[in-house]
Amino acid sequence: MSPSVRNIIAWILQVLIALAFINAGFQKLSHAPETVTMFMGLGLPRWSAYLVGAAELLGGLGLLWPRTVRLAAAGLIVIMLGAIVLHATKIPGGIGGGAFAIALLVGLLVILALRWPARRLA
């Protein structure tokens, strides 16, 4: 795949996934009381609701800034792994309810692969 095609695919994924995370983070933070209640119902501490909301919002923004794409993707991958585990173990509906989290995880892994520096062959 040519570098320009990789770049186009990466940018499309970055923008779509960034919008999803910016929205999710904003929703968590703007509806903090409900988010805290939900997180506490899952056995998570109160502060984790704010941490996840802020991380999603900042991670989504980080996907749009070329210098922070890999770091943002790596951080969001950790959050999505946690979300998938929670869907599989504690959230009603099971892993099927976490299909969107799985799709986001796959997209983040693709972004990370596309944005990884290419090794030069000598």
Query: Each residue of 4-49: pLDDT tens digit?
Result: 999 999 999 999 999 999 999 999 999 999 999 999 999 999 999 9
The half-sphere exposure of 96 on its side-chain side, counting CA atoms within 13 A, is: 2
Task: Please give the torsion angle defined by the CA atoms of residues 12, 14, 15 and 18, in that order, rounded to the nearest 10 degrees.
Answer: 160
Query: 56: burial class by Cβ within 10 Å (0-12, 13-18, 19+)?
Result: buried
| Separation CA 67–CA 7 (nearest Å) | 14
With 0.75 as the threshold, say if the pTM is over it. yes
**Which pLDDT value is given to residue 83?**
96
Do residues 63 and 21 make contact, with C-beta atoms less than 8 angstroms apart?
A: yes
**Which pLDDT value is given to residue 121?**
57
**Which pLDDT value is given to residue 122?**
57
| Separation CA 81–CA 106 (nearest Å) | 11
